[in-house]
Amino acid sequence: EVQLVESGGGLVQSGGSLRLSCAASGFSFRSYWMTWVRQAPGKGLEWVANINQDVSVKSYVDSVKGRFTISRDNAKNSLYLQMNSLRAEDTAVYYCARVGYNNYEVDYWGQGTLVTVSS
């Protein structure tokens, strides 16, 4: 069974930093693109960042470029999101998710971790 379990969320002051982690199990982690998607309270889904299997490709939504860094450790079956210079508008539930083989579909999602940035 595919499982994605996020951790590391919490309350942080504006300008602060936080590192999210995602532990993957039940599949060959090193074989898949992975992604972070966030959802602000009462709002829709927003893609945050992608990373490919061998870390040679990383992409970010414009609003987090230069502040967030996506990374992975295939030996530990783990995905990370380092978030610096946090702003109030970064407040959201952050989902770790797997990108499927077909055509960039997100086929498995974690339960999400809440990040709250206080101003």
Q: 102 or 119, CB closer to another protein?
A: 102
Q: Which residue number, 14 or 21, has a Cβ lying nearer to another protein?
A: 21
Nearer to another protein, 90 or 112 (CB): 112
CB of 22 to another protein, least distance (A): 12
Q: Which residues bind another protein (CB under 8 A)?
A: 35, 37, 44-47, 49-50, 59-62, 95, 99-100, 102-112
The residue ranges of DSSP E strands in the chain, in sequence order, are: 3-7, 10-13, 18-25, 34-39, 45-51, 58-60, 68-73, 78-83, 92-99, 106-109, 113-118
> How many other CB atoms are there within 10 angstroms of residue 2's CB atom?
13
CA distance 81 to 1: 24
Rounded CA-CA distance 6/118 in Å is 21
> 12 or 106, CB closer to another protein?
106
What's the closest the beta carbon of residue 51 comes to another protein, in angstroms? 11
Least distance CB 73 / another protein (angstroms): 22
- What is the rounded CA–CA span in Å between residue 75 and residue 108? 20
CB of 27 to another protein, least distance (A): 15
